[in-house]
Amino acid sequence: MQLGLVGLGKMGFNMRERIRRAGHEVVGYDRNPEVTDTASLAELVDRLEAPRVVWVMVPSGDITRNTITELSGLLSAGDLVIEGGNSRFTDDKVNADLLGEKGIRYVDAGVSGGVWGLENGYGLMVGGAAEDVELAQPIFDALRPEGPREEGFAHAGPVGAGHFAKMVHNGIEYGLMQAYAEGFELLAASDLVENVPETIKAWQRGTVVRSWLLDLLVRALDSDPELDDLRGHVEDSGEGRWTVEEAINHAVPAPVISAALFARFASRQPDSPAMRAVAALRNQFGGHSVVSAGPSSGTGSTQS
Amino acid sequence: MQLGLVGLGKMGFNMRERIRRAGHEVVGYDRNPEVTDTASLAELVDRLEAPRVVWVMVPSGDITRNTITELSGLLSAGDLVIEGGNSRFTDDKVNADLLGEKGIRYVDAGVSGGVWGLENGYGLMVGGAAEDVELAQPIFDALRPEGPREEGFAHAGPVGAGHFAKMVHNGIEYGLMQAYAEGFELLAASDLVENVPETIKAWQRGTVVRSWLLDLLVRALDSDPELDDLRGHVEDSGEGRWTVEEAINHAVPAPVISAALFARFASRQPDSPAMRAVAALRNQFGGHSVVSAGPSSGTGSTQS
Amino acid sequence: MQLGLVGLGKMGFNMRERIRRAGHEVVGYDRNPEVTDTASLAELVDRLEAPRVVWVMVPSGDITRNTITELSGLLSAGDLVIEGGNSRFTDDKVNADLLGEKGIRYVDAGVSGGVWGLENGYGLMVGGAAEDVELAQPIFDALRPEGPREEGFAHAGPVGAGHFAKMVHNGIEYGLMQAYAEGFELLAASDLVENVPETIKAWQRGTVVRSWLLDLLVRALDSDPELDDLRGHVEDSGEGRWTVEEAINHAVPAPVISAALFARFASRQPDSPAMRAVAALRNQFGGHSVVSAGPSSGTGSTQS
Amino acid sequence: MQLGLVGLGKMGFNMRERIRRAGHEVVGYDRNPEVTDTASLAELVDRLEAPRVVWVMVPSGDITRNTITELSGLLSAGDLVIEGGNSRFTDDKVNADLLGEKGIRYVDAGVSGGVWGLENGYGLMVGGAAEDVELAQPIFDALRPEGPREEGFAHAGPVGAGHFAKMVHNGIEYGLMQAYAEGFELLAASDLVENVPETIKAWQRGTVVRSWLLDLLVRALDSDPELDDLRGHVEDSGEGRWTVEEAINHAVPAPVISAALFARFASRQPDSPAMRAVAALRNQFGGHSVVSAGPSSGTGSTQS
């Protein structure tokens, strides 16, 4: 089938390739002339036959909204837009309504897999009406991994459900990564375990903690056994925050996911204001400006 | 080669089978007459040729220590004991010294994989002297999963390192399980995601969170889609506690692993004393016995 | 001076009394005829001389918004509305704009102290223009505790700052309460400390942890030494949630405040879905439906 | 009465002064000749009449144990040693047994208050036999704050109970400090609250969060309004660690106290190994060495 694909960055570029390998026709648009197939969104729309299916894969936020808005002026009733970026699920209802005014259909898709998706396929979670999802199923089937469809693709619910599921997926991912990271640090701190990379490598088969993330950690340790080519300064990209916020909205305890999120925040603070406050309180116990203690070889520190 | 195997419970029973399938001779001992191969530890020792290799796979704690002690009286210098139970790594030095007085060698082994290990193989982390590990390598190779040895077996370091590595492995496992669990609860709490089991099933291929634990969660949801045949009452078996204690000993922050441990503690409390204290404090804000507020339709609750 | 006071619930009722004791004239309105001074908001407004000052002390959310809206139709340019409920700071801008269209001024006030405020005074944090705060200063001075003004009253910033400060105050409160609660539970769990209430009572003077909350805990233990007249089921009222959300918005790590919030969520779950998921995963390790282990007296539990 | 006091550091120096002010005779010993009253422990013992009471106030660990051991050779049956340092409660049984062999009595005392204790008095929690505590009661009364004895002094239980109670007290203290610290950081991060020190100062009276620690925070902010004369690098002194370990031993959830402890650990890490592991995993998603994505203006970051 035909697909219009807007956004040919790290994700979209590879997705175009994977969909083409599956035998479909992809018309891509990107403002970067080196990768684009068309000169404009309008040209992209022109080159597709109705009912058109256009996948939007651009940065979440304003760029996505602007692209949706522009498409609403170019597409026709019955066409379908799939929004596959890292958007917050609350954006989907707005997008769907915006397009729905013109009779344009809307499906949101959470896409997981990173650049590995080109070879491995992408895990997909989509939200929308059953008939709209069905229209794009050949594309989803091209993108998802080999194997049973239900192990790499889910129609999670109505519009928004795809991004909601992807949000939770990423929240879990934060927790998983932090769990491995704490274990790595403890192994590295121990005198007993002499070869940390080898020990972690041995977890790849047979153990309870084996996973794709573990494979990636082994891969990282292969080239940098103490991970000292890196700084422990970790960004977050939205989904972790949204997961905790939704947990709060639903009164769901999320101690692990929030701890993982806060560890990232803390990793970016060269000097924590909160810990300066704790330090200040400890200094106050000493009360040096108030009480002049005699010099002594006794208890060096003041008891709180 | 020959192996003596003490303890034929859920783990030992399957391990005997797997080792036999690999062509080795296993003499098993268990006090349960239905599964044992020998009538006593003494007989087990008699049936092995020196240098004997005896794997101890009994409950950690006193039973393990008693078994080691009994073996120290039966084995000879140059024999090897492998302790494969869920013991704390701090026990290994004591065991090794106890046996070492008689010239008996000692290796500790962390074994992961549960009952699935019979078919999948067991992930192994061992601690001890290189020559002692080498002596038992055929047994380790029989137990570990197919594939490259280094992906399912590690000689982690000296005596104790195997159990230390296994302890950290299990600490990570606590964190991983809790991360998936929080995600499951949030999906279930959402109105948007209509089919939670299908959505989680779709994470098995292509996604970042794919793992063996995820496969097990999918398996559990297959037979009980809302997990309501179970109670949310979760035991812990020692390694999670020890991991947090070691993290504290090494000043390693472990917010995720500790949160997972505390969630288990809390799950077993029908009525938390701490939360009664919080409730008591909130009641005190209301100060009913002190201040008699007029009946009213105004702000129903007192502001703190 | 004159004050209109809308809402004579637990908070407003006592506040009217405290302000009157300070010699001011308070015209109160509540829909409860037993406590109200006027039959309607309109009558309340009529009984005040311009520039009128009207304090709104009704439940946050729709009731507050509706009251503000109704007042906007009754008050005149130059009058001042003080919103003192437990509102989210993000509501204040909306309220101020709504009233500002009519030239009506707006100040938000965070009020702390519970019913104890009648006798002790209320801690106040207000947001708004300096001249608007100044207009109501006599009322703030009547409400705040004895002692230096700056120790019980702050003009925290522009509109919204009062409720923001109160939100953070309550977030801290969550953390403080949980810290005492964990300590209480640990003391109660210990065999060594034979008299928990006496031990906690002894923290009231001289120690680092002395506080008003500690005094309240002592008071609760005086009448219920094991706190077993209560259930460990704790509500939350919004500010804790908002504090964590704002922490996330500002990338501020808030591990303690969020842990306290999640402990409340968990306290209200008779059976946690997340912990059912953890239990399900542990059961899967046992794999009973797949692998039939022989009965045994060996290792009772399967190792993960 | 007479008291021997060993250790005249920050704590002991002030305690000697406070006890003397109450009219008792204190013979102090410190190896620092500028503050000591006697040349040796032996001389200190000689100067006291039986039954002697000797308070040990030296750094916990080996120095305390050595002092106790030395005293066991100098004191006589019926004498009493009070160990008031920051010792782990598990040391007390050992100390008591060591002295008990000679018929020397033993009481452990948790002492809170820092250098402020000289003026304010010290909060005291003691463990031991009732008659032993009674013998030293005049000293405890001299040290504790003014006011009812039970608000600043508790006989918490048998030997060890005093240090156990003090351990929990300090664990709570960790949680309280972190709660204030998180609130401080959030206020400072906000644009709305224009004057953070003034806002916090206003919490001192009337609010729910008023406390001595809050007073200390106000004091710190008075001289350093943004706390930027300090580094956010916070030590921990044992009790926080022990509290979490005891919580684990008793299966008591301690999410807040542990979070406060881990925040201190993290504050001392210039570059967290765990967060380097998280960063490494995120890099692996990008898979730069494996997959060469085309240059693009599309989605800049790879989706996980």
pLDDT in tens, D4-56: 999 999 899 999 999 999 999 999 999 999 999 999 999 999 999 999 999 99
Q: Are the beta carbons of A161 and B194 separated by less than 8 Å?
A: yes
Tokens of A10: 């790290």
Cα B97 to Cα B79: distance, rounded to the nearest angstrom: 14
Beta pairing, strands B105-112 & B123-127: antiparallel
Q: Which residues in chain B are closer than 8 Å to C112, comparing Cβ atoms?
A: 303-304
What distances in angstroms separate CA A44 from CA A3, A67, A68, C17, D298, one per listed residue?
A: 10, 13, 14, 72, 16
pLDDT at position A237, please? Answer: 87
Ranges of residues in chain C with a pLDDT under 70 are: 286-304
Q: Which residues in chain B are closer than 8 Å to D269, comparing Cβ atoms?
A: 253
CATH code given to domain B167-267 = 1.10.1040.10
Active-site hit among D17, D43, D70, D173: D173
Q: Which of D187, D201, D256 lies at the smallest CB-CB distance from C179?
A: D256
Contacts of C91 (CB under 8 A, 6+ apart): C60, C64, C65, C83, C163
What single-letter amino acid sits at D121? G
Residue A31: count of CB within 10 angstroms of its CB: 16
pLDDT at position C45, please? Answer: 98
DSSP C154: E
Tokens of B36: 């044992």
Q: Which residues in chain B are closer than 8 Å to C116, comparing Cβ atoms?
A: 285, 287, 290-291
What distances in angstroms separate CA B167 from CA C282, D71, D262, one per listed residue?
A: 16, 42, 20
Cα D289 to Cα A222: distance, rounded to the nearest angstrom: 13
- DSSP per-residue string spanning chain B: -EEEEE--SHHHHHHHHHHHHTT-EEEEE-SSTTT-SSSSHHHHHHTSPSSPEEEE-S-TTHHHHHHHHHHHHH--TT-EEEE-SS--HHHHHHHHHHHHTTT-EEEEEEEE-GGGHHHH--EEEEES-HHHHHHHHHHHHHHSPSS-GGGTEEEEESTTHHHHHHHHHHHHHHHHHHHHHHHHHHHHH-SS-S-HHHHHHTTSSSSTT-BHHHHHHHHHHHH-TT-TTS-S-----SHHHHHHHHHHHTT---HHHHHHHHHHHHHT-SS-HHHHHHHHHHHHHH-TTT--PPP-SS--S---
Please check whether residue B161 is in contact with residue B96, taking contact to mean a CB–CB distance below 8 angstroms.
no
Please state the domain extents for chain C: 2-158, 167-267
Ranges of residues in chain B with a pLDDT under 50 are: 288-301
pLDDT in tens, A139-166: 999 999 999 999 999 999 999 999 999 9
CATH code given to domain C2-158 = 3.40.50.720
What single-letter amino acid sits at A26? V
Beta pairing, strands B123-127 & B53-56: unpaired
Q: Whole-model pTM?
A: 0.95
What distances in angstroms separate CA C284 from CA B215, B224, C210, C294, C298, one per listed residue?
A: 10, 12, 48, 17, 20
Q: Which of B251, B255, B304 lies at the smallest CB-CB distance from D208?
A: B304
pLDDT at position A295, please? Answer: 37
pLDDT at position A293, please? Answer: 35
- DSSP per-residue string spanning C161-199: HHHHHHHHHHHHHHHHHHHHHHHHHHHHH-SS-S-HHHH
Distance from CA of C211 to the nearest CA of D (A): 4
pLDDT at position C102, please? Answer: 98
- Find the mean pLDDT for residues A98-124: 96
Mean pLDDT of chain D: 94
pLDDT at position D287, please? Answer: 53
Q: Are the beta carbons of A58 and D298 separated by less than 8 Å?
A: yes
Q: Which residues in chain D are closer than 8 Å to A12, comparing Cβ atoms?
A: 296, 298-299
* D83 — pLDDT class (breaks 50, 70, 90): very high
Check whether D298 has a pLDDT greater than 60: no
Please check whether residue C123 is in contact with residue C152, taking contact to mean a CB–CB distance below 8 angstroms.
yes
pLDDT at position A162, please? Answer: 98
* A138 — pLDDT class (breaks 50, 70, 90): very high
Q: Which of C230, C276, C302 lies at the smallest CB-CB distance from B11?
A: C302
Mean pLDDT of chain A: 94
As annotated, the active-site residues of B are 166, 173
- Find the mean pLDDT for residues A240-257: 98
Check whether A34 has a pLDDT greater than 50: yes
Share of chain D above pLDDT 90, in %: 92
Tokens of B42: 């003494």
Tokens of A250: 């639903």
The complex's ipTM works out to: 0.94
Please check whether residue C139 is in contact with residue C3, taking contact to mean a CB–CB distance below 8 angstroms.
yes
**To which H or E segment does residue D83 belong?**
strand D80-83
Cα C200 to Cα C204: distance, rounded to the nearest angstrom: 8
Q: Comparing C-alpha atoms, which of B205, D296, D279, B217 is closest to residue A113?
A: B205
pLDDT in tens, B140-159: 999 999 999 999 999 999 99
What single-letter amino acid sits at A113? G
